[in-house]
Amino acid sequence: MHIGILEVVVRLGLVAATTFLFGIVLLTYLRMRNRKMLLILTGFGIFFVHALITIPELINDAFAIVLNENMHLLIHTIALVFLLLGTLKD
């Protein structure tokens, strides 16, 4: 499977954006230490780990993790549920 330069740039940009958001939420959680921020941090953490898992396949096809579209949607749904629970807390 050949990965184009545009896909590499887009994927690295999305990983950088996810890392930035996760860092901000982590710093907020460390300052506030409440359950609401913990739920939001968990949601962004799932997005962050999911983004990091997909990076090695850019380097070598042997590292490609077989995740079909349904699995990606399940991971995103779980993360969004944590974000929703954190937002609706209180």
Instruction: Summarize pLDDT for 33-89 with one digit per residue, the tens.
Output: 999 999 999 999 999 999 998 888 888 777 777 788 999 999 999 999 999 999 999
Within 13 Å, how many C-alpha atoms sit on residue 62's CB side? 0
Query: Tokens at residue 87, please?
Result: 């937002």
pLDDT for position 57: 82
Q: Which of 57, 44, 52 is nearest to 84 (CA)?
A: 44
Predicted confidence at residue 61, as pLDDT, reads: 77
pTM of the model: 0.89
pLDDT at 38: 97
